[in-house]
């Protein structure tokens, strides 16, 4: 494994050297092409040769590692980064790794401690992020920082060939895991947590960058991997697939760092400044609309009455709370607003049942217990094939029966010792203008589709 790390370090430095020299040679050609005076060209050629030699010297293995070990103090490898809170905050970021996760209370929750494998972030001088990449890049499940963290220095000792030099490299690179002067900052979030009279703990919340990166990797893999694409293609084609199609609904994205995400942290740069947010909204109740085959009336223990009950309850509480001296006009107007709301609920429910085209003709089934007037109302598409049903539906008698049923049901809902509701109110509820208006509108809409 150490041979693999040794090869990686050598290859990493060599690739950076090659990339830097290729860029230098490209710029050198542009400079020489602009020089017309041969004398000036000779001078510049010497300068360019000297610069090229300096680059080669800089990327000599021991020289580069010595410089990298020195620059390592400019960055820190952390799990929780401060600059996500505020880009100008100058306080400390934190490296956290539970020594024994099985005993760690935090392991019972979704947190950094619950991660089996933590991706460390790097914060500090963006110009030193090449050092962070050297330390963090995994090779066959191992990395230089993991090796240093467990006290295995073989890779660096082999490359140094000299104990004082390898000790200097080890001490330099280990700086990334140590914050010598932990501190908060005026631009960081701070919470004073009381622990006793006039005593507080000052808590400074930090952004869990490692946990965010694990979530980012999971979502990217789920959305953009080849397996995910194959699963979605199979689902779209309505064919079988042995791969699950996983969806993260209603996600949002936070962006950190603008055009320079590397100024926030290394992992933020890897993510392109993006941070996925999962929806924390409560689940939305979705009613599965089905024909009321087992109901004798939709005004008795039906989906409509379940939806209308909260409004009925509010209306009863209101009527019980008004006193005899209250304005009768104000009471009637408030009562009418409650009735309008209930009628809206009723007709939304009815419209949903009427549009169940896959159940057309359901009222003709022997198990249907619904009274005839409501069958005529709720199953209008049965008239397309049933002539007798169509003729019966064209008769307006069932509409008045519906209005009466609504009035009786409403009267029953409000009937109590505290609320005196009699025939006058029942007749009013049975002739509510909005009820008849909505009934006419609904029937007019249906007449365009029905014979």
For residue 269, is it within any domain? yes
Say yes or no to pLDDT of 100 above 50: no
Query: Which of the two residues, 114 and 286, has the higher pLDDT score?
Result: 114
pLDDT the model gives residue 374: 92
Domain membership of residue 87 as a residue range:
2-180
Average pLDDT over residues 409-424: 65
On whether both 253 and 316 belong to a single domain, the answer is: no
On whether both 20 and 161 belong to a single domain, the answer is: yes
pLDDT the model gives residue 305: 92
pLDDT the model gives residue 63: 93
Per-residue pLDDT tens digits for 179-198: 667 788 888 888 999 999 99
On whether both 7 and 83 belong to a single domain, the answer is: yes
Pick the closest to residue 117 from 81, 83, 94, 143 (CA basis).
143
For residue 358, is it within any domain? yes
Tokens 């005899």, residue located: 324
For residue 294, is it within any domain? no
Per-residue pLDDT tens digits for 337-374: 888 899 889 988 998 888 887 788 899 998 999 999 99
On whether both 217 and 257 belong to a single domain, the answer is: yes
pLDDT the model gives residue 184: 84
Q: How far apart, in whole angstroms, are the C-alpha atoms of residue 122 and residue 266?
A: 5
Beta strand 121-124 pairing with 75-78: antiparallel
Say yes or no to pLDDT of 409 above 90: no
On whether both 211 and 176 belong to a single domain, the answer is: no
Query: Which of the two residues, 419 and 42, has the higher pLDDT score?
Result: 42
Average pLDDT over residues 326-338: 80
For residue 100, is it within any domain? yes
Task: Show the tokens assigned to 34.
Answer: 């602009």
For residue 69, is it within any domain? yes
On whether both 137 and 258 belong to a single domain, the answer is: no
C-alpha 367 chain-centroid distance: 46
For residue 166, is it within any domain? yes
| Total number of domains in the chain | 3
For residue 187, is it within any domain? no
Task: Give the 3-state secondary structure of the chain.
Answer: CHHHHHHHHHHHHHHHHHHHHHHHHHHHHHHHHHCCCHHHHHHHHHHHHHHHHHHHHHCCHHHHHHHHHHHHHHEEEECEECCCCCCCCCCCCECCCCCCCCCCHHHHCCCHHHCCCCCCEEEECHHHHHHHHHHHCCECCECHHHHHHCCCCHHHHHHHCCHHHHHHHHHHHHHHHCCCCCCCCCCCCCEEEEEECCEEEEECCCEEHHHHHHHHHHHHHHHHCHHHHHHHHHHHCCCCCCCCCCCCCCCEEEECCCCCHHHCCHHHHHCCCEEEECCCCCCCCCCCCCCCCCCCCCCCCCHHHHHHHHHHHHHHHHHHHCCCCCCHHHHHHHHHHHHHHHHHHHHHHHHHHHCCHHHCCHHHCCCCCCCHHHHHHHCHHHHHCCHHHHHHHHCCHHHHHHHHHHHHHHHHHHCCCCCCCCHHHHHHHHCCHHHHHHHHHHHHHHHCCCC
On whether both 7 and 93 belong to a single domain, the answer is: yes
Give yes or no for a contact between 444 and 416, defined as CB atoms under 8 angstroms apart.
no
pLDDT the model gives residue 450: 63
pTM score, whole prediction: 0.58
Task: Show the tokens assigned to 188.
Answer: 């960081």
> Which of these three, 230, 261, 277, is where a domain ends?
277
pLDDT the model gives residue 106: 53
On whether both 238 and 382 belong to a single domain, the answer is: no
> Which of these three, 261, 277, 293, is where a domain ends?
277
**What is the length of the chain?**
451
On whether both 12 and 159 belong to a single domain, the answer is: yes
Per-residue pLDDT tens digits for 272-285: 999 999 988 887 77
What's the mean pLDDT when you consider all of the chain?
Answer: 84
Confidence of residue 199 (pLDDT cuts 50, 70, 90): very high
On whether both 22 and 145 belong to a single domain, the answer is: yes
On whether both 313 and 424 belong to a single domain, the answer is: yes
Per-residue pLDDT tens digits for 201-233: 988 889 999 999 999 999 988 888 888 888 888
Share of the chain above pLDDT 90, in %: 25
Average pLDDT over residues 36-54: 73
Give yes or no for a contact between 251 and 279, defined as CB atoms under 8 angstroms apart.
yes
> Which of these three, 240, 261, 277, is where a domain ends?
277
Share of the chain above pLDDT 70, in %: 88
Give yes or no for a contact between 144 and 9, defined as CB atoms under 8 angstroms apart.
yes
For residue 140, is it within any domain? yes
Say yes or no to pLDDT of 101 above 90: no
pLDDT the model gives residue 417: 46
On whether both 131 and 218 belong to a single domain, the answer is: no
């Amino acid at each position: 494994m150490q041979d693999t790390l040794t090869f990686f370090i050598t290859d990493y430095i060599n690739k950076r050297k090659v990339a830097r020299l290729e860029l230098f040679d490209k710029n050198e050609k542009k400079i020489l092409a602009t020089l017309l005076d041969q004398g000036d060209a000779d001078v510049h050629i010497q300068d360019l040769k000297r610069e090229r030699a300096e680059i080669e010297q800089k990327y000599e293995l021991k020289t580069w590692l010595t410089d990298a070990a020195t620059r390592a103090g400019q960055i820190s490898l952390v799990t929780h980064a401060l600059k996500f809170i505020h880009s100008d905050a100058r306080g400390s970021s934190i490296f956290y790794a539970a020594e024994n996760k099985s005993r760690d209370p935090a392991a019972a929750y979704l947190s950094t401690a619950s991660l089996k494998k933590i991706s460390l972030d790097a914060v500090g001088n963006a110009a030193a992020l090449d050092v962070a990449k050297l330390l963090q890049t995994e090779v066959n499940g191992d990395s230089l920082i993991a090796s240093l963290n467990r006290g295995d220095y073989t890779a660096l000792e082999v490359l140094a060939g000299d104990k004082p030099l390898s000790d200097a490299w080890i001490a330099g690179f280990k700086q990334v895991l140590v914050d010598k002067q932990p501190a908060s900052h005026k631009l960081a979030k701070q919470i004073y947590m009381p622990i006793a009279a006039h005593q507080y703990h000052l808590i400074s919340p930090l952004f869990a960058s490692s946990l965010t990166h694990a979530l980012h990797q999971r979502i990217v893999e789920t959305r953009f991997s080849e397996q995910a694409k194959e699963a979605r293609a199979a689902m779209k084609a309505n064919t079988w697939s042995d791969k699950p199609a996983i969806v993260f609904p209603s996600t949002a994205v936070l962006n950190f760092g603008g055009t320079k995400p590397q100024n926030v942290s290394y992992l933020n740069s890897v993510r392109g400044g993006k941070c996925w947010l999962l929806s924390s909204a409560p689940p939305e109740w979705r009613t599965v609309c089905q024909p009321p085959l087992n109901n004798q009336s939709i005004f008795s223990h039906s989906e409509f009455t379940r939806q209308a009950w909260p409004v009925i309850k509010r209306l009863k509480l209101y009527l019980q709370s008004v006193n005899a001296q209250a304005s009768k006009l104000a009471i009637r107007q408030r009562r009418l607003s409650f009735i309008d709301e209930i009628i809206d609920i009723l007709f939304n429910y009815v419209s949903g049942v009427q549009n169940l085209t896959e159940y057309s003709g359901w009222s003709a089934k022997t198990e249907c217990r619904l009274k005839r007037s409501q069958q005529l109302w709720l199953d209008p598409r049965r008239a397309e094939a049933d002539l007798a049903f169509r003729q019966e539906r064209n008769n307006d008698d069932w509409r008045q029966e519906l209005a009466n049923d609504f009035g009786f049901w409403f009267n029953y809902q409000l009937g109590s010792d505290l609320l005196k509701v009699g025939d006058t109110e029942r007749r009013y509820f049975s002739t509510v203008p909005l009820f008849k208006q909505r009934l006419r509108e609904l029937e007019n809409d249906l007449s365009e589709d029905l014979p």
